[in-house]
Amino acid sequence: MNTSIIDRLAGAGRLDRLFIDGEWVLPAGQDRSAVIDPSTDEPVAEVALGNAQDVATAVAAARRAFATWSVSTPQSRAALLARIHGLILERAEAFAQAISQEMGCAISVARGAQVPIAAEHIRVARDLATSYPFLTHRGSTAIQREAIGVCGLITPWNWPLYQITAKVGPALAAGCTIVLKPSELSPLSALLFAEVIQDAGVPAGVFNLVSGTGPEVGAALATHPDVDMISITGSTRAGVLVAQAAAPTVKRVAQELGGKSPNVILPDADFSRAIPAAVAAGMRNVGQSCSAPTRIIVPRERLAEVERLACDTASAFVVGDPRSPQTTHGPVANRAQFNRVQEMIGVGLAEGARLICGGPGRPQGLERGCYVRPTLFSDVQPQMRIAQEEIFGPVLVIITYDSVDEAVEIANGTVYGLGAHVQGRDLAAARAVAARIRSGQVHINNPPWSPDAPFGGYGRSGNGREYGVEGLEEYLETKAILGYGEVPAPSAA
């Protein structure tokens, strides 16, 4: 067990403190939460939990800091973001080790995806701070885009650093001040991030971290009258509760919530490439991604081929100790999620879906920990629970279609609309299908991830967008200044 990160945080007095107004402070209460290593299902540390009093202190600090931070120059904010970006890259291994321990991510994935793409959100925010047109003109009217105010940011356990930077980066670039509530289940990387904030020289009160539970800290942020915006990434249930709590104060609420994303394999696709890619995408991060394409929608006449390719791919995964470089898939992140995945595998069997790979229980040779067998169901009907409900584990369903129109209908046949994939050789046909899918993002033929592509959902997958220009604009208000005066055209000289 790697305890060096925990030992260092404990030695620096971080585990028992919150970060408020530029200082590491003791919480108002005595509540603590165990950090569980999901590879052993045993506690490895304890962290302090804040309460509503801590939230009030942090919000007051953020409100005071907003007066100066919101009118700082975009260039100065960009310079600060550049320092944050550099420190994340400099401390990448520490972040990777923390993420691997706190939520079981395979160390190769933590190093190759969790940390570097988290850093990308800060880089994009840095660049946007100086390139975004905060002031534009329509005749004699000026359109000013300015910081919305104090932002409460609520982040999940599955991509702990990535989701923090996706919110903190654009909020800082916009001139907002922040109170962050990371998941109490994966708090180590958030504490390391607060150290980066401090070492980068972020002014006191601009960034505050209050660890705690949703019912205590999340609710206090959502209801606080001096919080101007809440951005939450989490389950649809959590998003609804936050929106309801925020409604009386009429604050802006941005929600990135659940998903049940389709992967439509068109008849002309190269199945030898498309199916392994579909399984890999659906089980990335052990299936713990809200946009994971967990429904593989395929032509009925190709089902036998699909099953063979899919099982070959899933069977080649190496499930085991997340600290081993050979491991491709560690455990799911916590005991509650392990129980949920096991329950839903049982639901699939009870519904009459045909199990073709994996199944209940841990993989052979793993007697403890939250390990799940990579699992594939075929002969799945679109209305089965396993085809409608977010499972959040390495469990994929294969659904057949007889026409492209039927494939699109199946793809759109859930309450969600977060992500989608389309695979086919005929790009025009793939584009036509992508245009018909009701989803915030559609990936054609497995393109590279882009930090500039707006991300967010239709339906019960939420509202608002993250990443890129659209992610920045979530943190901006629009002010029209009439009578501002005409702006002369630039000189030709």
Taking every pair of Cα atoms in the chain, the longest distance, rounded to a whole number of angstroms, is: 76
E strand map for 431-474: 443-444, 462-463
Strands 262-265 and 421-423: parallel
**Cα–Cα–Cα angle for 170, 175, 181, nearest 5°?**
60
Residue 357 is among the residues annotated as catalytic for this protein: no
Q: Cβ atoms within 10 A of the Cβ of 304, count?
A: 9
| Contact assessment for residue 59 and residue 227, using Cβ atoms and an 8 Å cutoff | yes
> Which two tokens mark 303?
């089902």
SS3 152: strand
Type of residue numbered 348: G
Q: In the sheet where 141-147 sits, what is the strand order?
A: 135-138, 141-147, 476-481
3-state secondary structure 167-213: HHHHHHHHCCEEEEECCCCCCHHHHHHHHHHHHHCCCCCCEEECCCC
Given the residues 256, 307, 390, 473, the one annotated as active site:
256
Close Cβ partners of 4 (under 8 Å, ≥ 6 residues apart)? 97
b/e code 346-378 from CB counts within 10 Å (16+ = b): eebeeeebeebbbbeebeeebeebbbbbbbbbb
Q: How many residues does the chain have?
A: 493
Burial of 41 (C-beta count, 10 Å sphere; 0-12/13-18/19+):
middle
- List the catalytic residue out of 176, 290, 311, 370: 290
Active site residue 290: yes
Shortest CA distance to 178 belongs to which of 65, 81, 95?
65
Cβ burial, residue 170 (10 Å; 0-12/13-18/19+): buried
Computed over its alpha carbons, how large is the radius of gyration of the chain? 23
Contact 373, 346 (CB under 8 A): no
Decide: residue 136, CB within 10 A, 0-12 exposed, 13-18 middle, 19+ buried.
exposed
C-alpha 97/C-alpha 46 separation (Å) is 17
List, by residue number, the catalytic residues.
256, 290
